[in-house]
Amino acid sequence: MRFENETVLITGAGAGIGRETALRIADEGGFVVVTDVDEDGGDGTVEAIEDAGGEAVFQELDVTDADAFEAVVATATEEYGLDGLVNNAGVIQSPADTEDVSESTFEHVIDVNVRGVWNGCRAALPRFKSQGGGSIVNVGSLASFLGLPKQSAYSLSKGAVMNFTRSVAAEAGSEGVRANAVCPGFVETSMGEAYFESMPDPEKAKERAKRQYPLGRLARPGEVADAIAFLLSEEASFITGHGLVVDGGYSVS
């Protein structure tokens, strides 16, 4: 039971990778603070955890709101303690040349994907430092390392997440805090489906994407959750500042 007597806060936990991570943490003994802007999705995750015999609570949270994030972290710390933070909430960008990306799209991608991670770390770090330990896992992307065409705003945001993770690791390591990132390729989630649905021929686009992976398929959410749980746990006690790529071999093909 890797997370017995530990509390982990997960953003964007109402579906996809976030939900699978919450289920994994709870299955291994952890108490999960499930957060999301989607109340129904968050409640659904809590229900799934409780049905499986685990413990969780839902807090509605817009990660772009620094004050709200601070309040959720403060409440979690006071009521349950806080040992881990997973900054998972994120949004995609519809494919477009850089010059065609609207200002509103750019601002939304940066607000959620960058400001959301910043807000989470900024709220949690003082607690982790004061207690002499804590583990942060930020969800990056292949775009943290590769400049993806027609994904300039998204690539910018996920590149920032990776380098910010390194900065936090270097800054807070001496106080017992670890910070890592998990960087998946395409994942079989509703967000991934939305990306393909933005294409003229979604099925053709999806099949083309699968062929780019040596393993011949897209990732399952649970496979990314496994990587997050590993980095969050004591099994990764001497790993910090690392970006764990979970991409079925895409980046080496």
151: which 2 tokens?
Answer: 């994904």
Which residue in 80, 154, 195, 250 is the catalytic one? 154
To the query of whether residue 154 is one of the catalytic residues in this protein, the response is yes
Pairing state between β 134-139 and 7-10: unpaired
d(CA 174, CA 169): 9
Q: Which residues are tagged catalytic?
A: 154
